[in-house]
Amino acid sequence: MGKIIIDCTGDGDVAARAGASYKIGRDHDGAVQPMTLMFKMSNMDYVQNYNNFPALNGNELYFLMKQAVEREGLPDYQFNFTRPCMLRLPGSHTGVCQMTHVRGRNPLDAWDLSKAEIEGRELVYDAVTYFKKYLPQFKDAQLDQTGAHIGIRESRRITGEYEITLKDMLEGARFSDGICICKFGVDIHQPDGNGQEEIIRYPIKPYHISYRSLVPKYIDHLLVAGRCISGCFEAHASYRVTGDCVAMGQAAGTAAALCLDTNRSPRELDGKLVVEQMRKDGALQ
């Protein structure tokens, strides 16, 4: 057994089994954000349309679908993801699509995850069929692949020595033990309902993640990194993204090494030392 354990499971599995307290989902009902299965398509012919939407960065698909609704007299919307996007790969006719929401499934339950995978693939099939039938730019397109695993936005949030709050984000909080700066908006995909209101974004300022948010309360010799760190429901919807999680992993690894060098536990370690070492390593400016 290692002297310092770092939980990067995303779900806080190690911390939970060690007895750490945690929260899941919204405060009033515990519901979590929906899961999404991404998929990739090729041989699309809508590059010619890109000049009509030069600044949308992936949202061309949404407008093409709106045009199809008007042209074909279709129901206003037939999917559970209000503003789908296709992130085109540079210099190609290939793109990665985000437009599936799987709601009401428990990301910590193996059976529910299996059902979510099936539902996600059904939604992908429906989307590809729709594209090929109603969007001329997709008549010769093909489905290349789906994600290896359905994307989980949210599960456990471990209770740490400091909890990141929405107030921190709105005010652009700064901490002496700030191990990274985050600026991704509070991107809440509503656990229930549909419509444009399903995605809520707050106007935040760049803010620090405190080292203390990586340190579980009452559990020694353990650090967490990734979307399972300590924060409220709204805050989690910002720092859950990949870039921030990478920085947290760097900080957790740095902290673990410093703990071994100084014979301290993560709780005893001064977070400012982590910041200083990360700057020496070129991981922070």
pLDDT in tens, 9-31: 999 999 999 999 999 999 999 99
pLDDT value at position 61?
82
The 10s digit of each residue's pLDDT in 172-220 is 999 999 999 999 999 999 898 764 345 677 789 999 999 999 999 999 9
Cβ atoms of residues 203 and 272 within 8 Å: no
Would you say the pTM of this structure is higher than 0.85?
A: yes
Residues 51 and 138 in one domain: yes
Q: Which domain holds residue 56?
A: 39-146
Is there a contact between 53 and 257 (Cβ–Cβ < 8 Å)? Answer: no
The number of beta carbons lying within 10 Å of the beta carbon of residue 133 is 11
Q: Which amino acid is at 250?
A: Q
Q: What are residue 199's DSSP bridge partners?
A: 189
Residue 50 has pLDDT above 90, yes or no: no
Residue 238 counted as domain residue: yes
Domain boundary among 95, 118, 146: 146
- What are the tens digits of pLDDT across the range 60-69? 788 888 888 8
Supply angle C-alpha 209, 213, 218, rounded to 5: 170
Q: What is the mean pLDDT of residues 229-253?
A: 97
Q: Is 33 part of a structural domain of the chain? A: no
For residues 159 and 275, membership in a common domain is answered with yes
Average pLDDT over residues 246-258: 99
Q: How far apart are CA 36 and CA 189, in angstroms?
A: 10
pLDDT at 196: 37
Residues 167 and 128 in one domain: no
What's the mean pLDDT when you consider all of the chain?
Answer: 90
Q: How far apart are CA 267 and CA 27, in angstroms?
A: 27
Q: Has residue 37 got a pLDDT over 80?
A: yes
Name which of 252, 176, 253 is nearest 208 in CA terms: 176
Question: In three state form, how does the secondary structure of 213-242 look?
Answer: HHCECCCCCEEECCCCCCECHHHHHHHCCH
> Given 88, 118, 146, which residue is the final one in a domain?
146
Q: Does 285 fall in a domain?
A: no
Same domain, 17 and 49: no
Cross-strand pairs, 7: 224
